[in-house]
Amino acid sequence: MLSPTIVASLLTRAADPIGPTIPMRTAMNSSDWIRRFHRWTSIVFTTTVAANFVAMTKGPPPAWITYSPLLPLLLLLLSGLYLFVLPYARTWLGVRRGRQAAHAQSMAAALPE
């Protein structure tokens, strides 16, 4: 079965023979993976925070419960910063690729027939 993403990719290519500056994604790439990781780690983090509140109803919680949100929070920070930078990195790469394509076109136009 053709997925909607593949159909969209084929239509984009048909409309633009040179192809999009940034290729359409058809498979799960690393940023999808990080986004899914960030989403699930947020569930783990929320659970550890909730566990702290539950544990506090029974007196001071043990240190491992108190500090258990820190590891998922660190992982969220790292993956979140990656997700934050991603759109800007795409723009920088896209601009560079666009400039390269324009340069290649002008060089090709200067060649004798």
CB of 89 to ligand HEM, least distance (A): 12
Ranked by CB distance to ligand HEM, the top (closest) residue is 80
CB of 49 to ligand HEM, least distance (A): 8
Instruction: Find the binder of ligand HEM among 21, 24, 31, 42 (CB under 6 A).
Output: 42
Using rule CB under 6 A, residue 71 touches ligand HEM: no
For residues 34 and 82, is the Cβ–Cβ distance under 8 A?
Answer: yes
CB of 86 to ligand HEM, least distance (A): 7
Contacts of 44 (CB under 8 A, 6+ apart): 72
Using rule CB under 6 A, residue 38 touches ligand HEM: yes
Using rule CB under 6 A, residue 34 touches ligand HEM: no
- Which part of the chain contacts ligand HEM (CB under 6 A), choosing from 20-28, 57-65, 78-86, 98-106? 78-86
* Three-state DSSP state, 60: coil
As a whole number of angstroms, the distance between CA 39 and CA 78 comes to: 13
- Which part of the chain contacts ligand HEM (CB under 6 A), choosing from 20-28, 57-65, 79-87, 89-97? 79-87
Q: Burial-class residue 51 by CB neighbours within 10 Å (0-12, 13-18, 19+).
A: middle
Half-sphere exposure of 20 (CA within 13 A, CB side): 12
